Structure 1
Amino acid sequence: MPPLCWRHHTLIQALLSRGPLKEKEFQSIFFDVTGKSVDSHQQLFNEYLRKINMELSYVQFELRACRNQYEGGVYYGVINNVADEQSKLGTRYTVPQIAFYKGIIEAIVQDATAQGTISNIAALNVRLENQGASTQVPPAFKNFSMSQKEKSLQEFVQDQWLCTTPDGKIGLGVRSFLDLRSWFHNNEVPTCDVCNEAGIKADLCPNGSCTVRIHEYCLKAKFSQSRIDKVCPKCGTQWPYVVAKAEAVEEEDADVHQPPLVRKRPRRSRIVEEDESQPPSEPLGRRNLRSSRDGQEDESDGPSQVQPSSDPSSRRVRKVEDEESIGQRRKKVQTSNDGSGSGPSQETRRSTRTSSRLHR
């Protein structure tokens, strides 16, 4: 098997130096080092992870993905598969801090309501004496003060071993979901009936005697995207799951196919089309002459001046104007012809009479 290339090393170093990364962030790094997106190259992405885990297995490490049970997001991180005394030497936490962390984890997973959280006061009141392997309490546990507990809580949250929920309570961090999968299984933490992962933060079956619990995001995938009855998969009790408005709208859009809207065409456009379909009512040469004249006017006067119109009323007005101009020309020609045949015109006679009077 060929050794890992620099691209594999970059992915490992990103997770080791930054800690667990969101799915989109890790996929973005994969795109930067390979030039290929996960959406179109899912098989290549899986091959990269498989090859990395083959090499990390020699040192008991693993690149793993998990889902944050509080907000449903997917995260990637590198975890240690061995939890022995030698591996504890690699941590910067003290022995009392590790015992304090274990006490908080046990208090959270033992919650019968599966809320996945405990109050800040309950976390600070965790007794370290119950975490010792022997009956004799180490002096370091006795001397672990309340201020040290508060400081340790802040460090656990900062390092993503724990988290603070919006209501101010303490919950498990992303690194706990990544690293404690085998610990959850060994301590028989109830699992989700859909994904078979530990149901730390989950919804319980309404039937008090039923032990089924399902993550909130698993409920959404199970009930909102199908038309099956919303009942418990084990006892058949009706599950009080309310479909959100956004989910209901998506489901209606997927099922109901409405016909496309038919827009009515404007009445004027129909008249224009009918008029254009008719043969021209005036000679072609005169229409071409008018079109060229109108085009010149548009170029000189701009778009706000008279423009060629396809309105039938404007065509009729132009036709009447042409007929009137033709009639006026005919009258002038007739008048001139009448004057040439009968002698001098009226104006000529008036000027002759005026001149004769002056001579007298």
Structure 2
Amino acid sequence: MSGGLSWRHHVVIQALLSRGPLKERDLHSLFQDITKRNPGTERPLFDGFILKINKALACANFELRGCIDQYDGQVYYGVVNTISDEQSKLGTKYSVPQIAFYKAIIEAIVQDSTANGVVSSIEALNLNLDSQVTIVTDTQSLGSQPSVPSALKNFTLSQKEKTLHELVKDQWLNLTTDGIIKLGLKSFLDLRSWFRNNDVPSCHVCNEAGIKADLCPNENCTVRIHQYCLKQLFLQRKDAKVCPSCGTSWPCTVPKEEFLQAEVDNEPTGRQRATDSKQKRRTANRVVDEEVGCSNQDVLNECRESQRGNRLALKRGRASRNDDAHIGGSGASQSSAAAVPGLGRVTRSSARLM
């Protein structure tokens, strides 16, 4: 797996595995410290560096991927497991009832019709787990009542509380001081396909699952847009701020200064910054067929040599890209921060839960 990787690649991998998901600016800072190159002004070099790591990780079914935390709008990176089979699930420290409890919380959050992306801890602890595991039925006796595994029936309130704290500690969930549960970074990084396969409504602007989003003021309109997408959409418009689908007036409540400051805080030093939420996702997911070497000159040389091949690779990628190359479902035309198999889910500190 480490063939062809330099000590610089190993430093980045070790940082992600030991520290967990990193903010984009922290990863950029680490990259600049070890390569003496600025990822803000020399983005292709950074993309090539990440691509080389992913080529090495692919043989072990790992992937370095980026996503946007929908609650704070910032880009994060980490390493995740890319497969969900019975063998990979054997490595998890969570029991079947614990995984069922986690899944029940996720479903409660994504099914929130207000798109607040939260559930109270009290509601979570009272969730019924019977529907989270395939019901076992005796096919030889018609009319028999379906049976629920005893492990779920006997999963106590104290066990749920303990599981909740473990899920928060491992960054699958986030628990606020006032008892509100949100999705954790690992959920955003790891559950992209699950969101899509379970028809979670997507953001009208970026097509990523709209877990935490603003709804169109028109109750008959189903459009939802992430706050960071909404800010950028309206800041770019000189005309009236209206729903892009039904035309209903849609006031933007966040001041322009706050949004611009958020953009500054979310980017590393350098003149080139992501100027909108779509570009942020492309930045987090861009797969560039350029490899970074062990010295500054090597980095530049390899970058130049791979540019022609990169153009062809990108064309082929567009032609063969499947649903995982898009955010929020099939037919999406804009790529997601977490959908392209070059940059993707976060830390495999445990095996896949779902």
Contact 2:231–2:259 (CA under 8 A) maintained in structure 1: no
Aligned match of 1:90: 91
- 1:52 and 1:249 map into 2 onto residues whose CA distance is 32
Give deviations 1:121-171, integer Å, cap 9, x for gaps.
Answer: 111011121111124322221221111111111111111100124653101
Shift of 1:243: 4.8
Alignment match, 1:172: 183
* Amino acid of the structure 2 residue aligned with 1:28: S
Count the aligned residue pairs: 250
Corresponding residue SS for 1:75? strand
Q: How far apart are the structure 2 equivalents of 1:249 and 1:93?
A: 41
Corresponding residue to 2:228 among 188, 193, 217: 217
Q: Call closer, same or farther: CA 1:167–1:47 in 2, change over 3 Å.
A: same
Q: Which AA in structure 2 matches 1:48?
A: F
**Structure 2 gap ranges (5+):** 137-146, 262-354
Aligned pairs for 1:188-337 (under 5 A) are 188-244=199-255, 246=257
CA RMSD, Structure 1 to Structure 2 (Å): 2.0
User: What residue in structure 2 maps to residue 112 of structure 1?
Assistant: 113
Tell me which residue corresponds to 1:323: none
How far does residue 2 in structure 1 lie from its aligned partner after superposition? 6.9
Q: Once superposed, which parts of structure 1, at least 4 consecutive aligned residues long, lie more than 6 Å away? A: none
- Using the size of structure 2 for normalisation, the TM-score is 0.67
Q: Match of 2:34, as an amino acid? A: V
Letter in 2 for 1:246: E
1:10 is matched with which residue? Answer: 11
The CA distance in 2 between the partners of 1:99 and 1:233, in whole Å, is 38
User: 1:2/1:87 Cα in 2 relative to 1: closer, same or farther (>3 Å)?
Assistant: closer
Give the counterpart of 2:172 among 155, 161, 169.
161
* Matched residue SS, 2:76: strand
SS at match of 2:65: strand
CA 1:238–1:104: 2 relative to 1, 3 Å? same
- State TM-score, norm by structure 1: 0.66
SS in 1 for 2:50: helix
Q: 1:34 to 1:186 in 2, by over 3 A?
A: same
In 1, Cα distance between the equivalents of 2:4 and 2:102? 38
Larger radius of gyration: 1
Q: What CA deviation, in whole Å up to 9, does each residue of 1:232-266 have, x standing for no partner?
A: 1111111122351636999xxxxxxxxxxxxxxxx
Residue of structure 1 equivalent to 2:275: none
Q: Given that residues 235 and 256 in structure 2 are in contact (C-alpha distance below 8 angstroms), is that contact kept between their aligned partners in structure 1?
A: no
Change in CA separation of 1:152 and 1:2 when aligned onto 2, cut-off 3 Å: closer
Tell me the secondary structure at the aligned position of residue 230 of structure 2: helix
Q: For structure 1, which runs of at least 5 residues remain unmatched after alignment?
A: 251-360
Other structure's SS at 2:203 match: coil
Tell whether the 8 Å contact from 2:3 to 2:56 is kept in structure 1 after alignment: no
8 Å Cα contact 2:202-2:224 kept in structure 1: yes
Higher helix share: 1
Contact 1:224–1:243 (CA under 8 A) maintained in structure 2: no
- For 1:89, the aligned partner's letter is L
Structure possessing the higher relative contact order (Cα contacts under 8 Å, 6 or more residues apart): 2
Is 1:29–2:40 an aligned residue pair? Answer: no
Contact 2:39/2:46, CA 8 A, preserved across alignment: yes
Counterpart code for 2:29: S
